[in-house]
Structure 1
Amino acid sequence: MRIALALLALLMWSPQQVLAQAAADMPEKFERVTAGFDYDLRTVEIPMRDGVKLHTVIVLPRGGRQLPMLLTRTPYDAEGMTGHLRSSHLVDALEGYDNFPELFADGRYIRVVQDIRGKYGSEGAYIVNRPLRGPLNDSATDHATDTWDTVDWLSRHVPESNGKVGILGISYDGFTSLMALVKPHPALKAVAAMNPMVDNWKGDDWFHNGAFRQINLPYIYSQVGTRANSVTWWDDTPDQYTLFLRGGSAGALASARGMEDIGFYRKLLAHPAYDAFWQQQAVDRVLAQQPLEVPTMLVHSLWDQEDIYGAMAVYRALARDEAERARLWLVMGPWNHGGEQGEGSALGAIRLGSDTSRTFVHDMLRPFLDHFLQDQAPALSLAHVNAFRTGENRWESMSELPRACASGCPVQPRRLYLQPGMRAGFTPGATGQAGYTADPAKPVPYLPLPILTSEKDSAWGHWLVTDQREMGARPDVLSFVTEPLTQPLRITGMPQVELTVSTSAQDGDFVVKLIDVYPDAVPGQPEMGGYQLMVAADILRARYRQDPARPVPMTPGQLTPLKFSLPQAHHAFLPGHRLMVQVQSSWFPLYDRNPQRWVENIFQAKPEDYLPAQITVQLGGPQASALILPVEGVPAPLPADR
């Protein structure tokens, strides 16, 4: 009876009464209690010179006064990067991407994170790696002006600050950090650019020497498709190798996902060569045209799977004279992309002997920032170049990065020749050839199969240190190896590839890897016996061999010289180890397949364009194939020389 009466009473209520009852559980405005917090969070919309407002989160240590500010400008969600009040403790609130919570543990910095134009909470249009005002940008704003306007506002509107601003960031945020160096604001006192996107055609995110990094299509889909990354790339198989092989060309797979609606994808499709579109926005070229006015730290990861080109290119562009080197610092660490902000005692199977990331943050990054940003600035005794020697697992300090030259330099070029019998050595050896069939239907994977797409199972973060034995066992991968070393061989610099090849086709890709082959038995690490560790590796799309801006076909059957650089190395090959050079014609699905039949735009290759090709590598003689190593010192003859 009571239940029936209650139901009758509900039926007699008007709709307005029912809505009022439902809404009564939620207050019109809910205020969080933050009395126990050790920080305050302030959200502001900072106006730019064209009226666009950029969403900015300011995290202030509670009670702090005269504190410098550390700014990051990001497309990756400012509120998500600042914890959004998920913890009452500042250090915990700043856990995560780009934040280095150790910098803020003692409450001596104000943290500022800003959404760049068109992403998440900021107004305006999002343009990927927005170029500077000029031929590629006819608007009144760019990242340099937005940074200037932001720094100007912060220096005048944050009363808890000392008016000094530093900027730091990783990857895309490293790119925005570098753009702050273009006509910088006087209040900008320090820049730390880590793993920055710099030249996305030569060797960072989108291409490497003309080969398209199609593995980034899912990133482009979600990052550029919507303001808040609200659309997600979908897979119909958990194996990337199968997914991309089944998809055909990179263009066909992108079209199947509807990516023609994404403006940035259309730009990639329109600019497969290194034309003015890429050249004019290359950050190293931009920065080379003006003086370095702000103390800058560049951070390079020796096994960066995403932006392995940028930091070193900027260092080479800026280390022009003694005056500029006095404002420039370089750190090279044994990390993957962004690995300097995590636990740094190992990468994949490679043990590093210490927490290298902690050393970086506490002994390099923090002293650098403190010196230039704190009012009571401590002295800075940090060397201008700090490089981790992989192989020997130790940090080395120097005043500048040594350059190779034929004589009188601490680093000298030495040719490691590819020799008949699948040998390698520091003398040319006999004349001969080695060959393989490059079949686009069976491309060489960049990881052992299956290549899983889920983040939980993905080996993406450490694939550059993956054991190469499985790849070398394939008939379409040539492996040239030296005798065991009797003394250490140390290299510092970018190994240079001089490969002479012929093909039965009109185009092709060529991957060259420099590998450290471990002894069969490694004391204390049995799992490392015979391990094949990539030290430096990269790819060249042969149509760009003469001029990256103007592709030309190869002539079938004709010997063709190919020259390109491998990424920076700072490595010691130890006694008992051997050097190996691997040569192959695909690296899939990291890079799109070259059909090998000549087509004007490989994005638009048809299934019938993908043809096998017979590849021949020239050994010995006047056109000998070799890898030129930047060797420190002049070591005694190696066993392979005799």
Structure 2
Amino acid sequence: MATDPIRNDKIGTYDWVRPQADFVRREVMVPMRDGTQLFTVIVYRKGTRDAPILLSRTPYNSGATTMRNRSQLITEVLPIADAEFVDDGYIRVYQDVRGMDRSEGEYVMARPLRGPLNKSRVDHSTDAFDTIAWLVKNLPESNGKVGMIGSSYLGFTALMALVDPHPALKAAVPQSPMVDGWIGDDWFHNGAFRPLGFDYLLAQTATRGGGPMPVGNSVDEYETYLETGSTRELARKWGLEDLPAVRKVLEHPNYDDYWQGQALDKLLAARKLTVPVMLVVGQWDQEDSYGAPAVYRALKPQDPDNSLVHLAIGPWRHSGVNYDGSSLGALKFEGDTALQFRKRWMKPFLDCHLKTNAPPCDTPPVVTYATGADRWEVSQRWPDGTEKPLYLSSRFGLSFAKPGEAGSDEYVSDPAKPVPMRSRPVFLDGDDWKSWLVQDQRFADGRPDVLSYTTQVLDKPLHIKGAPRVELHAATSGRDSDWVVKLIDVYPREYTRQAEMAGYQLPIGIEIFRGRFVGGFSNPAPLEPGKPYTFQWSLPNVDHVFLPGHRIMVQVQSSLFPVYERNPQTWVPVVFDAKPGDYAKATQTIFHGGDAASAVWLPVAKD
């Protein structure tokens, strides 16, 4: 019978997964203990039996994540990092966290654990528990063993599942997890605020109209942020004070109970760890460099036999472990380092804990990639080096011998002309954002507000494995100051191996410290003009070899803009609230030698 020409052409749904597909894809609503149902996607290859479950809990749309395209091949519809698992019989599960995309409930950004900051019955720990309970009961294809994996926010939810874990949770791989948003992850670093986080909060929390701020200048965000003024003015100009997530940040500029109560390294250290965990981070992680090593330090005392806590550091940007790891910016590595790591260490770690009749577990305590030498290394501990001070010295030198003669160098820091984080124009997204931590630092070297100290040409390799520690003896003519230190590998001026790297100043670690917190992160206080202070903080964790023919450089400056807000350099009780007249030039003095010997303490390995 012919179809009526004016019959309604709308249909209910179309299942794009056709009978010829090599996989099963199920969408279910999983009930939580408070009645909220969370949207969950289950994907596995047809014929899968007795399979481990690999779970990720995400705010980034499980439906879209599990539908990379409408292929009928499982390795094409899932993220590329899932291929090794589903090809080996794993069941892959993604779930929208409560309040996001198709899950019910209210969304709270990085919802705190039940306790002083969360008086409700639920958190990410209980939601993970309830989800795992449902999965092992309702997936007859599984063997009843579950692992959790994911990067960034997904690394955070994987860690939260370890707080009160379901018995079926047998292993976790948190990658670049958000752990302490004030000390060194997304929002602040050592007290200095990162205003680009407002873009993220707007994208995450606005039901309609979310996304990046309508800043009106897509040419150079350095100029845009400078014109806007203070962080408070930025929020006011773009209506961000209407966002509860933004107000929470603005209400807590110091390391108070709000931030301390969410620090996952401290929360996990207060509990007994029962689930084996592999913590993964990129050496040049531009968003969450702090969290994974911090959790490793916090949990390692519970693991004297090296069977529970493992650390991996690769030559990657944020979440780079899940993508192609052959290069980063101008750097080229020996093959796809991310794929190498996933196949050689990450998947075997999960296999030995999750598979039926599993192979024995032989995961090393620490796996790192030695940049410079381009090789994977295994260590029994981390850091795997002995601290050795590299001293700033006269005539802008660096030396392992402590200078006997005291001296100092000065520069003028002008908030009206802050040092850019990278060569301009500055873009805080895309490839520029992903690779800014490896950009050639020659754009800053030679600026009058940047001091560069350099060693002689190395005649033998110097291998460091750990977090270099800054000990900066400094004074300011102002009443507050930011201090930025960069540890840099300076390539030879002639470098035929890779001509574009000739003379390259490769940052190995960059980190900031807000001076007002020299007496403690919970107790900001004005600095006394002209008074010498000792500022101490750590650079990110690295495994790097400075090769013969290279030099080591340390750069010191007082701004890193616009990734970090400007310090007014006068005393303002809350830097967010600085007015135009509060921003003032300051003369910065860096001391070296004698009793005020500024240095970067390098964790030198025994090779």
Normalising by structure 1, we get a TM-score of 0.91
Q: Deviations over 1:302-324 (max 9, x none)?
A: 11010000000000111115446
Amino acid at match of 1:248: G
- Matched-pair contact (CA < 8 Å) for 1:40–1:59: yes
Describe the shift of the 1:177–1:324 C-alpha distance in structure 2 as closer, same or farther (beyond 3 A): farther
- Matched-pair contact (CA < 8 Å) for 2:17–2:25: no
CA deviation after TM superposition for structure 1 residue 599, in Å: 0.7
Q: Does 1:86 align with 2:70?
A: yes
CA deviation after TM superposition for structure 1 residue 518, in Å: 0.9
Amino acid at match of 2:544: H
Secondary structure of residue in 1 paired with 2:497: coil
- Which sits farther off after the overlay, 32-41 or 122-131? 32-41
Secondary structure of residue in 2 paired with 1:214: coil
**Residue 613 (structure 1) aligns with:** 586
Distance, in Å, in 2 between the alignment partners of 1:413 and 1:308 is: 21
Describe the shift of the 1:555–1:163 C-alpha distance in structure 2 as closer, same or farther (beyond 3 A): same
Distance, in Å, in 2 between the alignment partners of 1:425 and 1:465 is: 24
Q: Does 1:172 align with 2:153?
A: yes
Q: Does 1:533 align with 2:506?
A: yes
CA deviation after TM superposition for structure 1 residue 229, in Å: 7.4
Describe the shift of the 1:592–1:211 C-alpha distance in structure 2 as closer, same or farther (beyond 3 A): same
Amino acid at match of 1:77: N
Distance, in Å, in 1 between the alignment partners of 2:68 and 2:538 is: 44
**Residue 443 (structure 1) aligns with:** 418
Describe the shift of the 1:85–1:157 C-alpha distance in structure 2 as closer, same or farther (beyond 3 A): farther
Distance, in Å, in 2 between the alignment partners of 1:292 and 1:399 is: 20
Secondary structure of residue in 1 paired with 2:203: helix
**Residue 26 (structure 1) aligns with:** 10
Distance, in Å, in 1 between the alignment partners of 2:426 and 2:304 is: 48
Secondary structure of residue in 2 paired with 1:299: strand
- Which sits farther off after the overlay, 431-440 or 22-31? 22-31
**Residue 114 (structure 2) aligns with:** 133
- Matched-pair contact (CA < 8 Å) for 1:318–1:324: no
- Matched-pair contact (CA < 8 Å) for 1:292–1:324: no
Unaligned stretches of 5+ residues in structure 1:
1-19, 404-410, 636-642
Secondary structure of residue in 1 paired with 2:273: coil
Describe the shift of the 1:278–1:92 C-alpha distance in structure 2 as closer, same or farther (beyond 3 A): same
**Residue 558 (structure 1) aligns with:** 531
| 1:47-62 equivalences in 2 (<5 Å) | 47-62=31-46
**Residue 292 (structure 1) aligns with:** 273
Distance, in Å, in 2 between the alignment partners of 1:321 and 1:23 is: 68
- Matched-pair contact (CA < 8 Å) for 2:273–2:299: yes
- Matched-pair contact (CA < 8 Å) for 1:200–1:206: yes
Describe the shift of the 1:291–1:324 C-alpha distance in structure 2 as closer, same or farther (beyond 3 A): farther
Secondary structure of residue in 2 paired with 1:580: strand
**Residue 469 (structure 1) aligns with:** 442
Secondary structure of residue in 2 paired with 1:628: strand
Q: Does 1:386 align with 2:361?
A: no
Amino acid at match of 1:420: S
Q: How many residues align?
A: 602
Amino acid at match of 1:150: T
- Matched-pair contact (CA < 8 Å) for 2:383–2:603: no
Amino acid at match of 1:432: G
**Residue 570 (structure 1) aligns with:** 543
Amino acid at match of 2:192: A
Secondary structure of residue in 2 paired with 1:629: strand
Q: Which of 18, 28, 40 is equivalent to 1:44?
A: 28
Distance, in Å, in 2 between the alignment partners of 1:23 and 1:134 is: 58
Distance, in Å, in 2 between the alignment partners of 1:27 and 1:354 is: 49
Q: Identical aligned pairs, as a percentage?
A: 47
CA deviation after TM superposition for structure 1 residue 163, in Å: 1.3
Q: Does 1:262 align with 2:243?
A: yes
- Matched-pair contact (CA < 8 Å) for 1:61–1:107: no
Distance, in Å, in 1 between the alignment partners of 2:12 and 2:146 is: 38
**Residue 68 (structure 1) aligns with:** 52
Describe the shift of the 1:118–1:150 C-alpha distance in structure 2 as closer, same or farther (beyond 3 A): same
Q: Deviations over 1:300-353 (max 9, x none)?
A: 211101000000000011111544631122111111111111111211111222
Q: Does 1:496 align with 2:480?
A: no
Amino acid at match of 1:437: V
Distance, in Å, in 2 between the alignment partners of 1:184 and 1:273 is: 31
Secondary structure of residue in 2 paired with 1:515: strand
Q: Which of 250, 271, 276 is equivalent to 2:252?
A: 271
Distance, in Å, in 2 between the alignment partners of 1:485 and 1:187 is: 52
Normalising by structure 2, we get a TM-score of 0.96
- Matched-pair contact (CA < 8 Å) for 1:64–1:107: no
**Residue 333 (structure 1) aligns with:** 314
CA deviation after TM superposition for structure 1 residue 428, in Å: 2.8
Q: Does 1:432 align with 2:412?
A: no
Describe the shift of the 1:113–1:520 C-alpha distance in structure 2 as closer, same or farther (beyond 3 A): same
Describe the shift of the 1:495–1:23 C-alpha distance in structure 2 as closer, same or farther (beyond 3 A): farther
User: Root-mean-square deviation (CA), in Å?
Assistant: 1.7
**Residue 623 (structure 1) aligns with:** 596
**Residue 427 (structure 2) aligns with:** 452
CA deviation after TM superposition for structure 1 residue 231, in Å: 4.7
CA deviation after TM superposition for structure 1 residue 166, in Å: 0.7
Q: Deviations over 1:582-603 (max 9, x none)?
A: 0000000000000111111111
Secondary structure of residue in 1 paired with 2:415: coil
Q: Does 1:545 align with 2:530?
A: no
CA deviation after TM superposition for structure 1 residue 379, in Å: 2.4
Secondary structure of residue in 2 paired with 1:320: helix
Q: Deviations over 1:271-302 (max 9, x none)?
A: 11111111111010011011110111111211
Describe the shift of the 1:220–1:579 C-alpha distance in structure 2 as closer, same or farther (beyond 3 A): same
Tell which structure's C-alpha radius of gyration is larger.
1
Describe the shift of the 1:121–1:480 C-alpha distance in structure 2 as closer, same or farther (beyond 3 A): same
CA deviation after TM superposition for structure 1 residue 102, in Å: 2.1
CA deviation after TM superposition for structure 1 residue 159, in Å: 1.5
- Matched-pair contact (CA < 8 Å) for 1:90–1:104: no
Distance, in Å, in 1 between the alignment partners of 2:555 and 2:60 is: 37
Distance, in Å, in 2 between the alignment partners of 1:558 and 1:491 is: 33
Distance, in Å, in 2 between the alignment partners of 1:128 and 1:493 is: 31
Amino acid at match of 2:599: A
- Matched-pair contact (CA < 8 Å) for 1:513–1:536: yes
CA deviation after TM superposition for structure 1 residue 235, in Å: 2.7
- Which sits farther off after the overlay, 559-568 or 143-152? 559-568
- Matched-pair contact (CA < 8 Å) for 1:272–1:601: yes
**Residue 487 (structure 2) aligns with:** 514
Distance, in Å, in 1 between the alignment partners of 2:365 and 2:32 is: 35
